Amino acid sequence: MEPVLAHSVRLDGDAVHVLDRRVFPFERTWVRCETVEEVAKAIEDMVTQSSGPYFAALYGMVLAARTLSDKPFAEAREELARAGALLENTRRTNNALRKAVALVLETVDTAGTVEAAAEGARIGDERYRERSRRLGEYTAELLPDDGCVLTHCWADLYLTETVSAAQRNGKRLRFVCTETRPYLQGARLTAETLAEMGVETTLITDGMGAAVLQSGVVDALVTAADRVTMDGHVVNKVGTLGLAVAAHAFGVPFYAQVQAPDLGASTKEDVPIEYRDGAEVLSTLGRPTASQRVRGLYPAFDVTPPRFVTRIVTDRGVLAPDRLTDYHRGEER
Amino acid sequence: MEPVLAHSVRLDGDAVHVLDRRVFPFERTWVRCETVEEVAKAIEDMVTQSSGPYFAALYGMVLAARTLSDKPFAEAREELARAGALLENTRRTNNALRKAVALVLETVDTAGTVEAAAEGARIGDERYRERSRRLGEYTAELLPDDGCVLTHCWADLYLTETVSAAQRNGKRLRFVCTETRPYLQGARLTAETLAEMGVETTLITDGMGAAVLQSGVVDALVTAADRVTMDGHVVNKVGTLGLAVAAHAFGVPFYAQVQAPDLGASTKEDVPIEYRDGAEVLSTLGRPTASQRVRGLYPAFDVTPPRFVTRIVTDRGVLAPDRLTDYHRGEER
């Protein structure tokens, strides 16, 4: 069964509909955006996250283009670029927004009409899903026919495509997922999505991963990576490092998923770590859960050194963390 | 300053007053118990935990004894033993309850009058605090004059005595503490108590420990241990293992505190791990925080092998995890 989060940004009629991940799965609320400005606001307000902003930006560009079809191309192209800048500026560290906007503008430029924005969005949507599907297939090949996977946070389409590929191949996978404080992406998004896909799923708190890895029930630790440096450092949601170190200590392989290693980051010093407001650690779903007399610390990501990483799974195959230049080899020739 | 949790079970006038740790620090509510039955109910309802039930049992015995002073000794002694059994049965795996009851009964037997229960309770109270004080002093000696300690869950008097000893010695310690899901003992009890003691304290979620240890800001990981086996396995609140493995990977020492290693447990197979109701993982402070379509898993403790433990700190000094028989050597002669 297709889980709702696999298609949670939809262009439908005259609006983009965005599933509100902030309240999922307690409520299944869709935010309706009729203009590119409303799409930008939804991204800025974190209605969607992970791959969601990429799809929202693609379809936000389509909404903008529809309002420009009566104008001369040069003028329409200029206004469309301004709409793109508006989308990009909602979350400045998110490379996916820039990629979505650039792809739509390129398609428009090639066609010589802003109406081609719809075609650009379709290409961007399909390309992202296709790359995730290949990555999911490579990941599923690494997993046993009957086994248990530990995952952390929310790997989005990488997760759903891995599960789909395993199901197509007749593999029986069980999952353990961490709740992923402070925003509970594991407890809310991952747990609910795996349940929707019919996967036997067990939820643990973030402190229980090492005990579960030590117990011998887990065959592999699998997480997405926000970025992977060319020398094999895995940058992902904070908590990944602790699980990777424990997996290494107890002989469980760690597979990190990324469409491609980042040519722009040769090593970890090239990746600034985002620190979010420490106050976010002092509450859960908006309700205080801690002493308010201390400060919270919230590094959003951590960096796992290559010695704790077994393999990097990309859309072009499975690579050792010290062989990531192989990914781009075909392009260089 | 003495934090409220250092004296959170008090015999005052005609009642035992128990600080309700379930709502601390959001509310500072004291549960008033006028009878041993009310004390037993408070323990059973988890109004207090950690060292709290020990003190509650001591003073519950005093309340029981007060109702028996008109009776012949043999009859009074029998009824007092029944009150002790009532207290012991509230939390069957808690050894401290049995110790508290036995100590009061011994004192009564020696004196030949149930009125000696008050003296027994006083001895038990002082002895527990004195042993914790010595353990705290040994721990403080291991810590730098100006440094940062990472701790997990709630180490109760071991924590407050460590901080007090460091403060007496003019040491400036900062603390990082984990929130400790699902019951948030770190976020509620540890964080608030350290703030009360004037210690600069930073709260993190349970998944952030490895990143903080990797960053180089932490000088030592210090936790209590519920039990330490004679071959150096540390049994403590789930989450300790992951922090210990990460501390080891990044060269940070791990000191585990216990009054005495457990002569009744030669190795980890002698310590059954309590699994609590998995549903407790699916909510926070009573409110759902996870998909309700998955099951939760809640191992209450984990077991850290001695290779990840730097030292065991006891009330008789600091021991290597492979030299714990030294603790009881004096007794054997």
Tell me the domains of chain B and their CATH numbers.
4-129 (1.20.120.420), 133-329 (3.40.50.10470)
| pLDDT value for B92 | 76
Chain A residues with CB-CB distance to B194 below 8 A: 294
Phi, psi at residue B2, to the nearest 5°? -80, 120
Answer whether residue A44 shows pLDDT above 70: yes
User: With the C-alpha atoms ordered A133, A139, A144, A148, is the resulting torsion angle positive or negative?
Assistant: negative
Give the per-residue pLDDT at A139: 98
pLDDT one-digit tens code per residue, B90-105: 987 778 999 999 999 9
Total residues found in chain A within this entry:
333
- Residue-wise pLDDT for A209-225, tens only, equals 999 999 999 999 999 99
| pLDDT for residue B91 | 84
Cross-chain Cβ contact B192/A295 below 8 Å: no
Question: Which positions of A are catalytic?
Answer: 226
> Which chain A residues are within 8 Å of B209, Cβ to Cβ?
242
Note whether A203 contacts B282, CB cutoff 8 Å. yes
Q: Write the secondary structure of B288-314 as one string of H (helix), E (strand) and C (coil).
A: ECCCCCCEECEECEEEECHHHCCEEEE
A250: number of Cβ within 10 Å: 17
Instruction: Provide ipTM, 2 decimals.
Output: 0.95
Q: Identify any residues that bridge with A223 across adjacent strands, giving them in sequence order.
A: A256
At residue A238, the pLDDT reads: 97
| Ramachandran region, residue B286 (left: φ > 0; alpha: ψ -120 to 50; beta: rest) | left
Q: What is the DSSP letter of A245?
A: H
- Whether B206 and chain A come into contact, CB under 8 Å, resolves to yes
B226 as an active site residue: the answer is yes
List B219, B226, B262, B315, catalytic entry: B226
For A248, residues 6+ apart whose C-beta sits below 8 A from its C-beta are A254, A307, A308, B249
Closest residue, chain B, to A292 (C-alpha): B192
Whether chain B has a CB inside 8 Å of the CB on A149: the answer is no
Structure confidence by residue, pLDDT tens digits, A70-122: 999 999 999 999 999 999 999 877 789 999 999 999 999 999 999 999 999 99
Q: How distant is the Cα of A153 from the closest Cα of chain B, in angstroms?
A: 11
What is the pTM for the complete model shown?
A: 0.95
**What pLDDT score was predicted for residue A273?**
86
CB B50 within 8 A of CB B223: no
Average pLDDT estimate for B111-134: 98
Written as six digits, the tokens of A256 are 């990190």
Of B323, B309, B328, B313, nearest to B259 by C-alpha is B313
Nearest to B320 by CA among B328, B309, B330, B329: B309
Residues 282-311, chain A, touching B (beta carbon < 8 A): 282, 284-285, 287-291, 293-299, 302-303, 308
Name the band, by pLDDT with cuts 50, 70 and 90, for residue B333.
very low
**A145 is written with which tokens?**
């026919």
The pLDDT, as a whole number, for residue B168 is 97
Q: Judged by CB atoms within 8 Å, which residues 62-91 of B form the interface with A?
A: none
Mutate: best of B199, B243, B294, partner A, most A CBs <10 A:
B294
SS3 state at B24: coil
pLDDT on residue A103 = 98
Q: Looking at the predicted structure, is the pLDDT value of residue A333 above 60?
A: no
Percent of chain A with pLDDT over 70: 99
Contact B206 A202 (CB under 8 A): no
Q: What is the pLDDT of residues A141-173, one digit of tens each?
A: 999 999 999 999 999 999 999 999 999 999 999
Pairwise CB contact (< 8 Å): A210 & B181:
no
| Beta strands B172-178; B146-151: pairing state | parallel
* Contact criterion met (CB < 8 Å) for B204 and A287: no
Nearest to B284 among A241, A249, A289 (CB): A289
User: What is the residue whose two structure tokens read 């396995």?
Assistant: B233
| Helices and strands of chain B, counted as H and E runs | 11, 18
What is chain B's length? 333
User: Are β-strands A30-33 and A15-19 bridged in parallel, bridged antiparallel, or unpaired?
Assistant: antiparallel
pLDDT score at A95? 81
pLDDT of residue A274: 86
